[in-house]
Chains A and B, each alone.
Chain A
């Protein structure tokens, strides 16, 4: 379970990057956060991972305050970053092995890694190839595998579909649905309204640091999500 309570962030003397975010993502729920560039999505993830200090409020992972117990909270969260580079001179399997061990899974075998990589749709011949020869999408899949292997109850994804081909993106959605069925809380930032419509249980729209709208699946299926999103964005343009 992920919780944000009045979570606020201001970088140096700039405007608020995140303005009193209140949000709760339950077990077995997929939450999609939409928003223009610079809206504050990555900032939210950074706050959950305690990569940055909140200016106010708090972020909880499975009830653990991430600023109070940063290390402990990391046990319960996996993270897929925007642009996964990984160690270029390691093979996919070596990268998995390293991060699995950091993630508290020291006893996995080669076969376990292979199985997981197959699951995310990575071609067999890539398993023992150096990551530096990988395309962006292939790296992204390895990054996803790392998150899956950690098997944490909460998963934070920052635009994971960027760079994936449509088939891979669809496969990723399927994986997320499977993870949700296992009871995991999934928080995904994206620009991909289409995917949101497909699998999200709830969708939020963020604008200039404020969560301006949250709709449940039933609600956003009634209205056209794309239209809602555009309306919010338009307002912003007009305001400016």
Chain B
């Protein structure tokens, strides 16, 4: 019985004008968006290659450990082609400093060749899909019942041994089945584009993710079909139904997501980053004062008049390098480093709670936005998809955690080898060749001006471990559960509404 209705609706739908329009819409939109995304991804790959090369080159040139500030470059996420998510908001570089924990990356995530074109509104596959599919689902289902009513077939059907619930199930399945070819076509098209791009390599697990995406999309379509069904069972005429459906579409797909992020910003206030930066700078200043005092103390202890430098250079985050300076100065710096690096690390630990509080504020805001998004199926889909495409805020936060952990290992490495207390921390010069102050004043500081770079083979390297598929699934679980729950609620609702439907 159900099957006859499914078959009938499937046949009627796939030979309808709206089906052809749907397919045309996909033929136009999907190749366009996916090729734009692929193009952007290639760009990111190029940027990655350049950044990576620079960062490696920089590392290769360092001669003292105080200059060891590895810069981590994030490999662009290939699934970002399907859904950009957070990756388009955050940078791709994280520099590891001792005096501060990394909080946000710097650099560009996606730069177009021409910065003037940056304002270009680039969509991605999932965003387009969520727009098109919800629209099509509503366009196919708004007259699910009203049309049968208007053509008199509803009465004819129910003059037979047909229950209302089987009828409803049959109709809904019929629409779902007619939309599946369109959905499949969209995925096929984008897959083809990806497969045919030589630069893009997806792992098998990535393809599994794509397959799961497909299933998510089916669920998403179902939600909108059920929405159309309720509307169709609620009103008497197709014209009212289409107006209501379009209002729903605009509300759930455009208005709510936009107002959701606006609302979350006004409900949960966060500190301005400038304020956070100011408190961090205050701590830096406090440390600066301490260091100044320490200079005097060490000089006093060493009975020095002052420091004499030769070939000294310095930079950010305690980087200081010298050679040819008198042994007294060298000793001064050794003692200074011995004192200062642990203190700088402890200041980083003190700065972290401030940073963390700020980050927590941002996360709270994001959570609020996420909670508000439970009212919009398209937002739920996008959240679930972002986890699957490793483009969610969770993936980002995990990555930043990893970078902080890496900083920790790097610190442990330096500490374990007592490198802060060693000359090599600031001078490439062999201590045996240090000159005395007297010689130095005479100009007797005959030291080679070429030194070997550090052998960093044993320095721990950063390994980015992107979320495994089970983690991603776990992350997206609530979203999917929500879509299923909404489907169940809408389906029950449509049964209740349709059971009260007057057949006269």
Nearest chain-A residue to B502 (Cβ)?
A52
Q: Which residues of chain B are within 8 angstroms of A143 by Cβ–Cβ distance? A: 156
Instruction: Tell me the complex Cα distance, A77–B162, Å.
Output: 13
Q: Which residues of chain A are within 8 angstroms of B1 by Cβ–Cβ distance? A: 102
Q: Which residues of chain A are within 8 angstroms of B121 by Cβ–Cβ distance? A: none
Indicate if the CB atoms of A86 and B161 lie closer than 8 Å.
Answer: no
Indicate if the CB atoms of A104 and B155 lie closer than 8 Å.
Answer: no
Q: How far is the CB of B384 from chain A (nearest CB, A)?
A: 36
Let me know if A88 is at the binding interface, CB within 8 A. yes
Nearest chain-A residue to B167 (Cβ)?
A102
Let me know if A78 is at the binding interface, CB within 8 A. yes
Indicate if the CB atoms of B161 and A49 lie closer than 8 Å.
Answer: no
Instruction: Tell me the complex Cα distance, A83–B155, Å.
Output: 11
Indicate if the CB atoms of B160 and A87 lie closer than 8 Å.
Answer: no
Indicate if the CB atoms of B160 and A99 lie closer than 8 Å.
Answer: yes
Instruction: Tell me the complex Cα distance, A79–B160, Å.
Output: 9
Let me know if A178 is at the binding interface, CB within 8 A. no
Partner of A74, one of B12, B15, B160: B160
Instruction: Tell me the complex Cα distance, A146–B150, Å.
Output: 19
Indicate if the CB atoms of B4 and A49 lie closer than 8 Å.
Answer: no
Contact A51-B151, Cβ < 8 Å, known A74-B161, A87-B12, A89-B15: no
Indicate if the CB atoms of B503 and A102 lie closer than 8 Å.
Answer: no
Contact A87-B156, Cβ < 8 Å, known A71-B163, A98-B4: no
Indicate if the CB atoms of A102 and B151 lie closer than 8 Å.
Answer: no
B interface bracket (residues with beta carbon within 8 Å of A): 20 to 34
Instruction: Tell me the complex Cα distance, A85–B151, Å.
Output: 5
Q: Which of A42, A84, A98 has the most CB of B within 10 A?
A: A98
Nearest chain-B residue to A78 (Cβ)?
B159
Indicate if the CB atoms of A102 and B504 lie closer than 8 Å.
Answer: no
Indicate if the CB atoms of A101 and B4 lie closer than 8 Å.
Answer: yes
Indicate if the CB atoms of A150 and B15 lie closer than 8 Å.
Answer: no
Q: How far is the CB of A49 from chain B (nearest CB, A)?
A: 5
Let me know if B8 is at the binding interface, CB within 8 A. yes
Indicate if the CB atoms of B153 and A77 lie closer than 8 Å.
Answer: no
Q: Mark B143-155, 1 if CB is under 8 A from A, else 0.
A: 0000000111101
Indicate if the CB atoms of A104 and B151 lie closer than 8 Å.
Answer: no
Contact A75-B159, Cβ < 8 Å, known A51-B503, A52-B502, A85-B150: no
Say whether chain B's binding surface is mostly helix, strand, loop, or mixed: loop
Partner of A49, one of B8, B16, B150, B159: B159
Indicate if the CB atoms of A87 and B155 lie closer than 8 Å.
Answer: no
Let me know if A81 is at the binding interface, CB within 8 A. yes
Partner of B152, one of A46, A74, A84: A84
Q: How far is the CB of A20 from chain B (nearest CB, A)?
A: 20
Indicate if the CB atoms of B156 and A84 lie closer than 8 Å.
Answer: yes
Instruction: Tell me the complex Cα distance, A88–B502, Å.
Output: 23
Indicate if the CB atoms of B4 and A102 lie closer than 8 Å.
Answer: yes
- Which residues of chain B in 396-438 are interfacial with respect to chain A, using CB atoms and an 8 Å cutoff? none
Contact A71-B8, Cβ < 8 Å, known A52-B504, A85-B153, A87-B153: no
Let me know if B158 is at the binding interface, CB within 8 A. yes
Indicate if the CB atoms of A74 and B151 lie closer than 8 Å.
Answer: no
A interface bracket (residues with beta carbon within 8 Å of B): 20 to 34
Let me know if B24 is at the binding interface, CB within 8 A. no
- Which residues of chain A in 29-57 are interfacial with respect to chain B, using CB atoms and an 8 Å cutoff? 42, 46, 49, 51-52
Indicate if the CB atoms of B8 and A79 lie closer than 8 Å.
Answer: no
Indicate if the CB atoms of B156 and A104 lie closer than 8 Å.
Answer: no
Instruction: Tell me the complex Cα distance, A42–B155, Å.
Output: 12
Contact A49-B157, Cβ < 8 Å, known A71-B163, A102-B4, A102-B162: no
Q: Which residues of chain A are within 8 angstroms of B8 by Cβ–Cβ distance? A: 87, 90, 98
Q: Which residues of chain B are within 8 angstroms of A81 by Cβ–Cβ distance? A: 152, 155-156
Let me know if A137 is at the binding interface, CB within 8 A. no
Let me know if A204 is at the binding interface, CB within 8 A. no
Let me know if A103 is at the binding interface, CB within 8 A. yes
- Which residues of chain A in 59-100 are interfacial with respect to chain B, using CB atoms and an 8 Å cutoff? 71-72, 74-75, 77-79, 81-90, 94, 98-99
Q: Which of B1, B151, B157, B162 has the most CB of A within 10 A?
A: B151
Instruction: Tell me the complex Cα distance, A51–B149, Å.
Output: 12
Q: Which residues of chain B are within 8 angstroms of A74 by Cβ–Cβ distance? A: 158-162
Q: Which residues of chain A are within 8 angstroms of B151 by Cβ–Cβ distance? A: 85-88
Nearest chain-A residue to B150 (Cβ)?
A85
Q: Which residues of chain A are within 8 angstroms of B160 by Cβ–Cβ distance? A: 74, 99, 102-104, 150
Nearest chain-A residue to B15 (Cβ)?
A89
Q: Which of B15, B150, B504 has the most CB of A within 10 A?
A: B504
Instruction: Tell me the complex Cα distance, A88–B150, Å.
Output: 12
Indicate if the CB atoms of B159 and A79 lie closer than 8 Å.
Answer: yes
Q: Mark B8-37, 1 if CB is under 8 A from A, else 0.
A: 100110011000000000000000000000
Q: How far is the CB of B140 from chain A (nearest CB, A)?
A: 14
Q: Which residues of chain A are within 8 angstroms of B152 by Cβ–Cβ distance? A: 81-86
Q: Which of B5, B150, B153 has the most CB of A within 10 A?
A: B153
Provide a sorted-by-A list of 17 A–B residue pairs whose CB atoms are within 8 angstroms.
A46-B503, A51-B158, A52-B504, A79-B156, A79-B159, A81-B156, A82-B152, A86-B156, A89-B16, A90-B11, A99-B156, A102-B1, A102-B157, A103-B161, A104-B160, A104-B161, A150-B160
A residues sitting closer than 8 Å to B (CB atoms) are: 42, 46, 49, 51-52, 71-72, 74-75, 77-79, 81-90, 94, 98-99, 101-104, 143, 146, 150, 156
B residues sitting closer than 8 Å to A (CB atoms) are: 1, 4-5, 8, 11-12, 15-16, 150-153, 155-163, 502-504
4 other contacts beyond A46-B504, A83-B152, with CB at 8 A cut-off? A49-B158, A72-B161, A84-B152, A89-B12
> 5 shortest A-B CB distances, which residue pairs?
A85-B151, A51-B503, A79-B159, A102-B160, A85-B152
